[in-house]
């Protein structure tokens, strides 16, 4: 079988490896417009801040390794058109400018996503030197150089999602004066409710990072072609470097006739098949079924990219036991001594979509108070008010403690449509070294159903 893979980062690499591991007779050709693969972009802030010393440690595969498995890997090749009826792709060699066509029996679309731009910023402002984005290895190289440049004293990060907050911390560690700007009134607003973001914001400000929340960026100002200020609807901020981190859009323009979710990601079934026969979509380009929302939605995470690649490849190889019935967007962040994890939907998101939910939030010590040490832990559960079905969870650990991995079984509970009662009777252990007789998950459930005697 002749298979073409469009894009070879996390999802495409996963699919290619799986295809050839399951059937070495597959004829696999992979095209990518970049010059490298498998770069862990989630580690960029760690390199910028100096935690990771060698940026090359963020790669886990190379084109040569994939070719040794039997694939044809074509880097610096841009797929510029797909004809699903003829099963033909048109490819441009970016080195020679040659344009040619290739055919396929099955196509795996892993074209990923690209950073969004800030609306209504004049083109000449975006063209100023030191106005950057953060996505690729090449971006990381530039951001690292600028983190070590003594001439860059003021850094403005636009967007307070995961990448933005991580970069704000990283440049602060490098001694820069950092301003974090967002149109939203809170940091990490897509993932966490105020009970978690307010303490984080207090610690961000305490370190010396300036927060400019609830402000719309309207322009950049420069001198001699280099950015010097970020201008918002409420003020102006000095900036020798601007990093735009306002989100990503899926690269799905090559499949205009496929069914897409809001935002443009390709709707797929449990085997990653799109609405177009013999075309699969994986990674950031697809929209899988979201168990908490009850609809298809893009969830751009490397974990989902790898799993979707394995699933598509397995189905092509004839293995229908491997499938992804749903996702819930499980994620985590470790910044400013806060270790936070979330899954499913937050209370604010549920209200925005007019979902009939209730919540249970508690703060409790993670171990019995008779132990030599213990640390405060926060947890919030979001659940259906009528059925008590779990729809979302958020966990916060601080300092040396880390309890974020408890989010795993709460994510599974959401995917399996379990209620709070189901979760409460999960067979868990108690040991004073690790937790309380009523651990924080159980305590939050007991509060939700009116059994508050765990506090007695």
User: What are the residue boundaries of the structural domains of the chain, listed by start?
Assistant: 2-39+59-114+257-316, 123-246, 338-455
2-39+59-114+257-316 and 123-246: same fold? yes
Q: What percent of the chain has pLDDT over 70?
A: 99
Q: What is the pLDDT of residue 445?
A: 96
Q: How many CA atoms lie within 13 A of 253 on its CB side?
A: 7
At residue 220, the 3 state secondary structure works out as: strand
Residues in the chain: 456
The two three-digit tokens of residue 441, written as one number: 């998950």
Contact 181, 237 (CB under 8 A): yes
Q: Report whether 361 contacts 333 (CB < 8 A).
A: no
Which two structure tokens, joined as six digits, stand for 323?
């499938």
pLDDT tens-digit map of 170-179 = 999 999 999 9
pLDDT level of residue 268 (50, 70, 90 thresholds): very high
Confidence band of 456 (pLDDT split at 50, 70, 90): low
Confidence grade of residue 276 (pLDDT, cut at 50, 70, 90): very high
Whether 165 has a pLDDT exceeding 80, the answer reads yes
Residues 178 and 416: their CA atoms lie apart, in Å, by: 42
Question: What are the pLDDT digits (tens) for 116-153?
Answer: 999 999 999 999 999 999 999 999 999 999 999 999 99
pLDDT value for 28 = 98
Catalytic center residues: 10, 42
Whose CA is closest to 134, among 144, 125, 124?
Answer: 144
What's the predicted TM-score (pTM) here? 0.95
Mind listing the pLDDT tens digit for each residue in 385-409?
999 999 999 999 998 899 999 999 9
How far is residue 346's CA from residue 108's CA, in Å, rounded to a whole number? Answer: 33
- Give the CATH number of domain 123-246; options: 3.40.47.10, 3.50.50.60, 3.90.79.10, 3.30.70.360: 3.50.50.60
Average pLDDT, the chain: 96
Name the residue among 60, 59, 90, 93 with its Cα closest to residue 75.
Answer: 93
pLDDT band at 453 (very low <50, low <70, confident <90, very high): confident
How far apart are the C-alpha atoms of 51 and 65, rounded to whole Å? 27
SS3 for 209? coil
CATH 3.90.79.10 fits 2-39+59-114+257-316, yes or no: no
The pLDDT assigned to 405 comes to 96
The pLDDT score that the predictor gives to residue 136 is 93
What is the token pair recorded at 145? 């150089």
pLDDT at 364 over 80: yes
E strands present in 141-232 = 154-158, 177-182, 210-213, 217-223, 226-232
Name the H helices within 31-99. Answer: 44-48, 63-68
CA pair distance 194, 212, nearest whole angstrom: 17
Q: Could you please state the CATH topology (level 3) that the domain comprising 338-455 is classified under.
A: Enolase-like; domain 1 (3.30.390)
454 pLDDT more than 70: no
pLDDT at 355 over 80: yes
């Amino acid at each position: 079988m002749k298979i073409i893979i469009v894009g070879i980062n996390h999802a495409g690499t996963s699919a290619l490896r799986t295809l050839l591991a399951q059937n070495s007779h597959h004829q696999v050709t992979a095209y990518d417009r970049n010059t490298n693969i498998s770069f862990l972009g989630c580690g960029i802030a760690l390199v910028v801040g100096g935690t990771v010393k060698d940026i090359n440690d963020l790669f886990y595969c190379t084109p040569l390794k994939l070719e040794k498995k039997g694939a044809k890997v074509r880097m610096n090749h841009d797929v510029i058109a797909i004809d699903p009826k003829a099963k033909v792709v048109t490819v441009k060699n970016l080195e020679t400018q040659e344009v040619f066509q290739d055919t396929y029996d099955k196509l795996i679309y892993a074209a990923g996503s690209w950073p969004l731009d800030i609306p209504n910023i004049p083109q000449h402002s975006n063209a100023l030197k030191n106005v950057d984005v953060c996505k690729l290895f090449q971006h990381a190289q530039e951001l690292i150089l600028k983190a070590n440049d003594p001439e860059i004293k003021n850094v403005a990060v636009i967007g307070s999602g995961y990448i933005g907050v991580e970069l704000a911390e990283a440049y602060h560690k490098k001694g820069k004066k950092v301003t974090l700007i967002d149109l939203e009134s809170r940091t990490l607003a897509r993932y966490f409710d105020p009970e978690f973001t307010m303490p984080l914001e207090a610690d961000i400000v305490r370190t010396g990072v300036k927060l400019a929340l609830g402000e719309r960026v309207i322009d950049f100002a420069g001198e001699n072609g280099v950015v010097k200020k970020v201008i918002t609807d409420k003020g102006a901020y000095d900036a020798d470097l601007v990093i735009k981190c306002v989100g990503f859009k899926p690269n799905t323009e090559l499949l205009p006739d496929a069914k897409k979710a809001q935002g443009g990601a390709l709707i797929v079934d449990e085997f990653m098949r799109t609405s177009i026969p013999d075309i699969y979509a994986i990674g950031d380009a697809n929209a899988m079924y979201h168990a908490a929302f009850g609809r298809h939605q893009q969830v751009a995470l490397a974990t989902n990219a790898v799993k979707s690649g394995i699933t598509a490849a397995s189905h092509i190889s004839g293995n229908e036991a491997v499938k992804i019935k749903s996702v819930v967007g499980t994620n985590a962040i470790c910044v400013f001594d806060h270790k936070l994890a979330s899954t499913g939907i937050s209370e604010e998101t549920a209200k925005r979509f007019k979902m009939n939910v209730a919540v249970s939030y508690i703060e409790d010590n993670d171990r019995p108070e008779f132990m030599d040490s213990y640390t405060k832990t926060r947890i919030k559960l979001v659940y259906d008010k009528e059925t008590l079905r779990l729809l979302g969870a958020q966990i916060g650990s601080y300092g040396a403690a880390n309890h974020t991995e408890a989010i795993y079984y709460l994510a599974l509970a959401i995917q399996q449509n379990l209620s709070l009662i189901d979760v409460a009777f999960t067979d868990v252990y108690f040991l004073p070294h690790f937790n309380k007789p009523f651990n924080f998950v159980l305590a939050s459930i007991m509060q939700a159903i009116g059994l508050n005697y765990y506090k007695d």
